Amino acid sequence: MTDPMLSNSLVSARRRLADALAAAGRPADAARLLAVSKTKPADMIREAWQLGQREFGENYVQEALEKQRELVDLEGIVWHFIGPLQANKTRAVAEHFDWVHSVDREKVARRLNDQRPEALAPLEVCLQVNVSDEASKSGVSFDELEELAEAVLSMPRLRLRGLMAIPAPAADPARQREPLARLRQALESLRERFPDAPLDTLSMGMSDDLEAAVLEGATLVRLGTAIFGARNTSRR
Ligand SMILES: *Cc1c(COP(=O)(O)O)cnc(C)c1O
Protein backbone atom coordinates (compact mmCIF):
# COMPACT_ATOMS: atom_id res chain seq x y z
CA MET A 1 0.00 0.00 0.00
CA THR A 2 1.38 3.36 -0.90
CA ASP A 3 0.59 6.48 1.02
CA PRO A 4 -1.73 8.73 -1.05
CA MET A 5 0.12 11.81 0.24
CA LEU A 6 3.42 10.62 -1.09
CA SER A 7 1.82 9.63 -4.36
CA ASN A 8 0.24 13.07 -4.72
CA SER A 9 3.40 14.95 -3.90
CA LEU A 10 5.47 12.88 -6.29
CA VAL A 11 2.95 13.47 -9.07
CA SER A 12 2.99 17.21 -8.27
CA ALA A 13 6.79 17.30 -8.28
CA ARG A 14 6.91 15.56 -11.65
CA ARG A 15 4.34 17.95 -13.05
CA ARG A 16 6.23 20.93 -11.69
CA LEU A 17 9.42 19.77 -13.37
CA ALA A 18 7.58 19.03 -16.63
CA ASP A 19 5.98 22.49 -16.59
CA ALA A 20 9.31 24.16 -15.88
CA LEU A 21 10.97 22.30 -18.78
CA ALA A 22 8.13 23.21 -21.13
CA ALA A 23 8.31 26.87 -20.05
CA ALA A 24 12.05 26.82 -20.71
CA GLY A 25 11.52 25.31 -24.16
CA ARG A 26 13.53 22.25 -23.24
CA PRO A 27 12.71 18.59 -23.99
CA ALA A 28 10.65 16.72 -21.40
CA ASP A 29 13.55 14.40 -20.60
CA ALA A 30 16.20 17.15 -20.31
CA ALA A 31 16.13 17.06 -16.50
CA ARG A 32 15.45 14.35 -13.94
CA LEU A 33 14.09 14.37 -10.43
CA LEU A 34 16.43 13.42 -7.60
CA ALA A 35 14.33 12.57 -4.52
CA VAL A 36 16.21 13.78 -1.44
CA SER A 37 15.33 11.29 1.26
CA LYS A 38 17.58 12.38 4.14
CA THR A 39 16.01 11.80 7.58
CA LYS A 40 13.12 9.89 5.95
CA PRO A 41 12.57 6.19 6.68
CA ALA A 42 13.43 3.37 4.28
CA ASP A 43 9.72 2.58 3.90
CA MET A 44 9.09 5.95 2.26
CA ILE A 45 11.91 5.34 -0.20
CA ARG A 46 10.38 1.95 -0.99
CA GLU A 47 7.02 3.57 -1.66
CA ALA A 48 8.55 6.19 -3.92
CA TRP A 49 10.36 3.42 -5.78
CA GLN A 50 7.05 1.59 -6.20
CA LEU A 51 5.72 4.81 -7.73
CA GLY A 52 8.54 4.76 -10.27
CA GLN A 53 11.12 7.01 -8.63
CA ARG A 54 14.62 5.58 -9.08
CA GLU A 55 17.17 8.21 -8.01
CA PHE A 56 17.53 9.13 -4.36
CA GLY A 57 19.79 11.63 -2.60
CA GLU A 58 21.20 11.15 0.89
CA ASN A 59 23.31 13.49 3.06
CA TYR A 60 24.45 11.39 6.00
CA VAL A 61 26.60 8.34 5.41
CA GLN A 62 25.60 6.22 8.38
CA GLU A 63 21.91 6.87 7.97
CA ALA A 64 22.10 6.07 4.27
CA LEU A 65 23.92 2.78 4.80
CA GLU A 66 21.23 1.60 7.20
CA LYS A 67 18.49 2.36 4.72
CA GLN A 68 20.40 0.82 1.83
CA ARG A 69 20.63 -2.44 3.77
CA GLU A 70 16.84 -2.51 4.07
CA LEU A 71 16.37 -1.73 0.41
CA VAL A 72 18.83 -4.06 -1.35
CA ASP A 73 15.94 -5.75 -3.15
CA LEU A 74 14.92 -2.59 -5.05
CA GLU A 75 16.05 -3.07 -8.61
CA GLY A 76 17.47 -0.15 -10.50
CA ILE A 77 17.69 2.15 -7.50
CA VAL A 78 20.42 4.78 -7.88
CA TRP A 79 22.02 6.30 -4.78
CA HIS A 80 23.42 9.84 -4.84
CA PHE A 81 25.51 11.20 -1.99
CA ILE A 82 24.83 14.95 -1.80
CA GLY A 83 25.96 15.95 1.70
CA PRO A 84 29.23 17.39 2.98
CA LEU A 85 31.90 14.74 2.62
CA GLN A 86 34.65 14.34 5.19
CA ALA A 87 37.81 12.49 4.24
CA ASN A 88 37.17 9.81 6.87
CA LYS A 89 33.79 8.92 5.28
CA THR A 90 34.96 8.46 1.71
CA ARG A 91 35.32 4.67 1.85
CA ALA A 92 31.67 4.07 2.69
CA VAL A 93 30.62 6.46 -0.06
CA ALA A 94 32.98 4.86 -2.60
CA GLU A 95 31.61 1.43 -1.77
CA HIS A 96 27.89 2.15 -1.47
CA PHE A 97 26.90 5.00 -3.78
CA ASP A 98 26.56 5.44 -7.53
CA TRP A 99 27.02 9.21 -7.54
CA VAL A 100 28.67 11.87 -5.38
CA HIS A 101 27.69 15.53 -5.88
CA SER A 102 29.80 17.12 -3.17
CA VAL A 103 33.42 16.65 -4.21
CA ASP A 104 35.15 19.95 -3.57
CA ARG A 105 38.81 19.10 -3.01
CA GLU A 106 41.45 16.88 -4.49
CA LYS A 107 42.16 14.95 -1.33
CA VAL A 108 38.60 13.67 -1.13
CA ALA A 109 38.54 12.85 -4.85
CA ARG A 110 41.81 10.94 -4.56
CA ARG A 111 40.47 8.85 -1.69
CA LEU A 112 37.21 8.08 -3.51
CA ASN A 113 39.22 7.02 -6.55
CA ASP A 114 41.51 4.77 -4.52
CA GLN A 115 38.61 3.27 -2.56
CA ARG A 116 36.15 2.63 -5.40
CA PRO A 117 35.85 -1.19 -5.61
CA GLU A 118 37.03 -2.73 -8.88
CA ALA A 119 33.80 -4.72 -9.14
CA LEU A 120 31.75 -1.53 -9.44
CA ALA A 121 31.48 0.92 -12.31
CA PRO A 122 33.44 4.14 -11.85
CA LEU A 123 31.85 6.54 -9.39
CA GLU A 124 29.87 9.34 -11.07
CA VAL A 125 31.10 12.66 -9.71
CA CYS A 126 29.91 16.24 -9.66
CA LEU A 127 32.10 18.98 -8.26
CA GLN A 128 30.35 21.19 -5.74
CA VAL A 129 31.00 24.84 -6.52
CA ASN A 130 30.69 27.65 -4.02
CA VAL A 131 28.49 30.02 -6.01
CA SER A 132 27.66 32.45 -3.20
CA ASP A 133 30.86 32.64 -1.18
CA GLU A 134 29.47 34.63 1.75
CA ALA A 135 26.90 32.01 2.61
CA SER A 136 28.59 28.65 2.44
CA LYS A 137 31.86 27.10 3.39
CA SER A 138 31.56 24.07 1.12
CA GLY A 139 32.37 24.04 -2.53
CA VAL A 140 35.38 24.79 -4.67
CA SER A 141 35.74 28.40 -5.82
CA PHE A 142 35.31 29.27 -9.50
CA ASP A 143 39.00 30.17 -9.54
CA GLU A 144 40.12 26.70 -8.49
CA LEU A 145 37.50 24.73 -10.39
CA GLU A 146 39.46 23.99 -13.55
CA GLU A 147 42.44 22.66 -11.62
CA LEU A 148 40.24 20.35 -9.56
CA ALA A 149 38.40 19.17 -12.68
CA GLU A 150 41.69 18.34 -14.36
CA ALA A 151 42.80 16.32 -11.33
CA VAL A 152 39.52 14.38 -11.18
CA LEU A 153 39.66 13.67 -14.91
CA SER A 154 42.98 11.95 -14.36
CA MET A 155 41.45 9.52 -11.85
CA PRO A 156 40.33 6.32 -13.60
CA ARG A 157 37.81 5.19 -10.97
CA LEU A 158 35.90 8.50 -11.12
CA ARG A 159 33.81 9.84 -13.98
CA LEU A 160 33.45 13.59 -13.93
CA ARG A 161 29.84 14.30 -14.90
CA GLY A 162 29.35 17.95 -13.99
CA LEU A 163 28.76 20.56 -11.34
CA MET A 164 26.54 21.00 -8.31
CA ALA A 165 25.66 24.08 -6.26
CA ILE A 166 23.55 25.15 -3.32
CA PRO A 167 23.04 28.89 -3.85
CA ALA A 168 22.20 31.17 -0.95
CA PRO A 169 18.44 31.82 -0.84
CA ALA A 170 17.32 34.77 -2.94
CA ALA A 171 13.91 36.38 -2.80
CA ASP A 172 13.22 37.21 -6.42
CA PRO A 173 13.59 34.95 -9.46
CA ALA A 174 16.04 37.26 -11.24
CA ARG A 175 18.40 37.13 -8.27
CA GLN A 176 18.00 33.36 -8.11
CA ARG A 177 19.18 33.01 -11.68
CA GLU A 178 22.53 34.79 -11.26
CA PRO A 179 24.44 32.04 -9.41
CA LEU A 180 22.73 29.34 -11.45
CA ALA A 181 23.79 31.06 -14.67
CA ARG A 182 27.35 31.26 -13.40
CA LEU A 183 27.32 27.54 -12.68
CA ARG A 184 26.04 26.85 -16.21
CA GLN A 185 28.77 29.05 -17.69
CA ALA A 186 31.39 27.27 -15.61
CA LEU A 187 30.22 23.91 -16.98
CA GLU A 188 30.36 25.31 -20.53
CA SER A 189 33.95 26.47 -19.96
CA LEU A 190 34.94 23.05 -18.66
CA ARG A 191 33.36 21.42 -21.70
CA GLU A 192 35.44 23.62 -23.97
CA ARG A 193 38.58 22.98 -21.99
CA PHE A 194 37.99 19.19 -21.74
CA PRO A 195 35.97 18.26 -24.85
CA ASP A 196 36.33 14.49 -24.32
CA ALA A 197 35.00 14.51 -20.75
CA PRO A 198 31.44 13.21 -20.11
CA LEU A 199 30.31 16.57 -18.68
CA ASP A 200 26.53 16.43 -19.04
CA THR A 201 25.20 17.23 -15.55
CA LEU A 202 24.11 20.40 -13.78
CA SER A 203 22.86 19.41 -10.34
CA MET A 204 20.96 22.50 -9.25
CA GLY A 205 17.42 23.49 -8.34
CA MET A 206 15.68 22.74 -5.06
CA SER A 207 12.19 23.38 -3.80
CA ASP A 208 12.55 27.17 -3.87
CA ASP A 209 14.41 27.70 -7.12
CA LEU A 210 13.48 24.79 -9.37
CA GLU A 211 12.00 26.96 -12.13
CA ALA A 212 15.02 29.30 -12.20
CA ALA A 213 17.38 26.31 -12.27
CA VAL A 214 15.54 24.66 -15.15
CA LEU A 215 15.67 27.94 -17.10
CA GLU A 216 19.44 27.91 -16.58
CA GLY A 217 19.89 24.35 -17.79
CA ALA A 218 19.62 22.13 -14.70
CA THR A 219 19.67 18.42 -15.60
CA LEU A 220 19.15 17.01 -12.11
CA VAL A 221 16.90 18.84 -9.63
CA ARG A 222 17.03 17.88 -5.98
CA LEU A 223 13.69 17.90 -4.18
CA GLY A 224 13.25 16.74 -0.61
CA THR A 225 10.45 18.45 1.28
CA ALA A 226 8.30 18.78 -1.84
CA ILE A 227 8.23 14.98 -2.20
CA PHE A 228 8.56 13.55 1.31
CA GLY A 229 7.17 16.39 3.43
CA ALA A 230 8.86 18.55 6.06
CA ARG A 231 11.79 17.16 7.98
CA ASN A 232 11.96 17.18 11.76
CA THR A 233 14.20 20.23 12.12
CA SER A 234 15.09 19.52 15.74
CA ARG A 235 17.06 16.57 14.45
CA ARG A 236 18.78 18.25 11.52
C1 LIG B 1 18.29 18.68 1.76
C2 LIG B 1 18.87 18.97 0.44
C3 LIG B 1 18.06 19.16 -0.69
C4 LIG B 1 16.56 19.14 -0.65
O5 LIG B 1 16.08 20.24 0.05
P6 LIG B 1 14.51 20.50 0.22
O7 LIG B 1 14.44 21.88 0.69
O8 LIG B 1 14.01 19.52 1.22
O9 LIG B 1 13.87 20.28 -1.11
C10 LIG B 1 18.69 19.39 -1.90
N11 LIG B 1 20.03 19.43 -2.01
C12 LIG B 1 20.84 19.24 -0.96
C13 LIG B 1 22.30 19.30 -1.14
C14 LIG B 1 20.29 19.03 0.30
O15 LIG B 1 21.10 18.86 1.34
Q: Is 207 in the pocket of ligand 1 (CB under 6 A)?
A: yes
CATH label of the domain that carries residue 95: 3.20.20.10
Residue 45 lies in a domain: yes
Residue 233 is assigned to a structural domain of this protein: no
The mean pLDDT value of the chain amounts to 95
* Domain around 182: 4-228
pLDDT in tens, 124-138: 999 999 998 765 678
- Kindly state if the Cβ of 33 falls inside 6 Å of ligand 1: no
pLDDT tens digits for range 30-42:
999 999 999 999 9
SS (H, E, C) the chain: CCCHHHHHHHHHHHHHHHHHHHHCCCCCCCCEEEEECCCCCHHHHHHHHHCCCCEEEECCHHHHHHHHHHCCCCCCCEEEECCCCCHHHHHHHHHHCCEEEEECCHHHHHHHHHHCCCCCCCEEEEEEECCCCCCCCCCECHHHHHHHHHHHHCCCCEEEEEEECCCCCCCCHHHHHHHHHHHHHHHHHHHHHCCCCCCCEEECCCCCCHHHHHHCCCCEEEECHHHHCCCCCCCC
Q: Is pLDDT at 153 greater than 60 in this prediction? A: yes
Percent of the chain's residues with pLDDT above 70: 96
Q: Among the atoms of ligand 1, which is closest to the Cα of residue 207? A: 9
How many structural domains compose the chain? 1
- The answer to whether position 138 is within a domain reads yes
pTM reported for the whole predicted model: 0.96
Checking if the pLDDT of 174 tops 80, the result is: yes
Separation of CA 222 and ligand 1 centre (Å): 6
Q: Locate the ligand 1 atom nearest the alpha carbon of residue 102 and give its number.
A: 13
Structure confidence at residue 233 (pLDDT): 66
Residue 236 domain-assigned? no
